[in-house]
Amino acid sequence: MMPANLVGTAVALGLFVLAGGAYGVLYTASVARSSILLERASYLCYVSQLLIALAVCLVSPLGLLWKLFIATSALAYGFIPPVTWRLLEKMHHQHAQ
Amino acid sequence: MYRSQRLALRYFAAAITLFGVMTAAGLLSALYYVDSSLLYNVFDFQMAKILHINTLVIWLLMGFIGAVYWFLPRELGREVVGIWLAEVLFWIFCAAVAVVAVVFIFVQYGSSDQFSMWFINQGRKYVEAPRWAAVGIVAVVLTFVYNVTATAWRARRMTGILWVLILDLVPLSVLYLDAFPQITNMSHDLYWWWWLVHMWVEGTWEVLIGCLMAWSLMELMGTSRRIVEAWLYIEVMMVLGTGILGLGHHYFWIGTPQYWLGIGGFFSALEPLPLLGMVVHAVYDAGTHHMKTTNRPAFYWVLAEAFGNFIGAGVWGFMMTLPQINLYSHGTQWTVSHGHFAFWGAYGCGVIAIIYLVLQQTRKAQNFDSRAWKWSFALLNLGLVGMVGGLLVAGITQAIYERAQGGSTLQAFVVASENQWFQSGMYARVIFGLLFAIGYLVLVYDLLVIGKRAAVAQRTQEASA
């Protein structure tokens, strides 16, 4: 791996998770506050994450299996915030009953 | 107040004191990078580093033990069984830590023989305390396990959190025995040594702090037991599911078979996922309570714990966990950057949150707020983020010039160390380290005074009414 590729790939992987985190935080905040603006911002973060994953798959020198793994986890990140939210809502709802 | 809770307060005082020693030793370690002749042949870099890392482990461990001694009698509604033994061992523990610190500072090292191993330095990274002190730590941990299990047994009551805690204490105590073997083959030695370091930090400690956060959330936000327990089970499954085999990322370059590259890379890359779930949960809780709480310092430190854990362990970890990147980044300041951020986020913030929670209850103050906690919160977190930023720049410089371009030769190491980006990163680490140290002093001041005036005013008002 060339030095430029090393830094580029590492930074992209860090940003990949950071964008996923920002998506999770903004999505949760948007549902809690019923804010369309926050919801759009959250989807923007998720789209950024998908684009970063695409860039890693197309440009980085990682092996094919690692690229597939990144692509799959990019899709998994999309489900985590809504699924977690629903789970928490269900738990709180059951408790309230 | 139960005797066990008084013991908890002593543990917290000891933990915060050691946090200070850790900060001072860390600052000193940082200074060697900007002045390599500093204290040369008087107190060399490796001794400051040993002091820094060992006090890190001990202050967090004392914080965890103190927290369990605080919550346990509340959970079971009775005094902890064998509390006298725990009280005696606390003082022995403190004396042992002080003696080991004195030996590290004044004796430092000995010849390569059994005497040095037993009385000066065990020679195993992160668990350098001499063998007699390591035996003492085993005694303290075993007593702690006995206290918890015997109390639950005697109370004839078991809760979900206690089940998780007791099951977690088994590997927590057994894995420490990995500090003892004398294996001459370095690959074998590192193979088992990582069981201790990784499984403690990314396994048993994660579960332990999960239990402590569950108790904290019940008291801080009034979250119901059923909810925190259900969430704790999910969290434990996910953290252990990814964390146990995530151990493999330490096996990449120590002479273990090649399949660890795939196993370690895959499972450690999954590790951010449960952390994302925790962040979502934290935001959910904060949202449902509209950021309102009677203990703002504890609340904000809990939030810092969730976010710090995600960014420090998740983002920083993912940057360098795949084998192709890790080949160049392992053992550089990049790893140091990740270690600082992850430890602070996952554990440091959590222990501070619990201490604030406990202080509000001991001082019986409804209005538990101050300006100082905001300053310490800002200074500590800003200092930490600045430090890890500086270390990241220095580490990337090493990965490029020493590893990728230089091929990991000694000459390449020197070239990378003289690079201006590396030097700038190290200066930044000192400056932000100073900021962190000031934040620590403000934290100590705040812990000593917060809520006292409000409690007095509250009592006066009640008396006059």
- The answer on B418 and B302 residing in a single domain is no
User: CA-to-CA distance for B411 and B432, rounded, in angstroms?
Assistant: 29
On whether residue B169 sits in a domain, the answer given is no
Over range B316-327, report the average pLDDT.
92
Give me the amino acid identity at A85.
Answer: W
- The answer on B140 and B94 residing in a single domain is yes
The pTM is what?
0.93
- Please check whether residue B137 is in contact with residue B104, taking contact to mean a CB–CB distance below 8 angstroms: no
Phi-psi region of B408 (alpha: psi -120 to 50; beta: other; left: phi over 0): left
ipTM of the complex: 0.90
Average pLDDT over chain B, rounded to an integer: 91
Kindly identify which residue of chain A lies nearest to residue B316, measuring between CA atoms: A14
- Please check whether residue B303 is in contact with residue B261, taking contact to mean a CB–CB distance below 8 angstroms: no
**How many domains does the structure of chain B reveal?**
3
On whether residue B50 sits in a domain, the answer given is yes
On whether residue B295 sits in a domain, the answer given is yes
Q: Do A17 and B315 touch (CB under 8 A)?
A: yes
3-class DSSP state for residue A57? Answer: helix
- Which one of B335, B362, B389 terminates a domain? B362
- Chain B residues 217-236 with a CB less than 8 Å from chain A: 224, 226-227, 230-231, 234
Percent of chain B at pLDDT above 90?
A: 65
Distance, in angstroms, between A10 CA and closest chain B CA?
5
User: CA-to-CA distance for A16 and B322, rounded, in angstroms?
Assistant: 14
Domain containing residue B325: CATH number = 1.20.210.10
On whether residue B464 sits in a domain, the answer given is no
CA distances from A14 to A9, B264, B269, B280, B421 (A): 9, 18, 11, 19, 20
Q: Do B279 and A25 touch (CB under 8 A)?
A: yes
- Which one of B300, B331, B362 terminates a domain? B362
Tens of pLDDT, residue by residue over B118-173, are 999 988 888 899 999 999 989 999 999 999 999 999 998 899 999 999 999 999 88
Residues of A in contact with B281 (CB under 8 A): 84, 88
Banded model confidence at residue B290, pLDDT cuts 50, 70, 90: low
Q: How far is CA B134 from the centre of its chain?
A: 18
On whether residue B305 sits in a domain, the answer given is yes
- Chain A residues 36-95 with a CB less than 8 Å from chain B: 61-63, 65-66, 69, 73, 76-77, 80-81, 84-85, 87-88, 91-92, 94-95
- The answer on B240 and B99 residing in a single domain is no
- The answer on B259 and B320 residing in a single domain is yes
Domain range enclosing B350: 180-362
Q: Do B399 and A62 touch (CB under 8 A)?
A: no
Nearest to B325 by CA among A21, A70, A22: A70
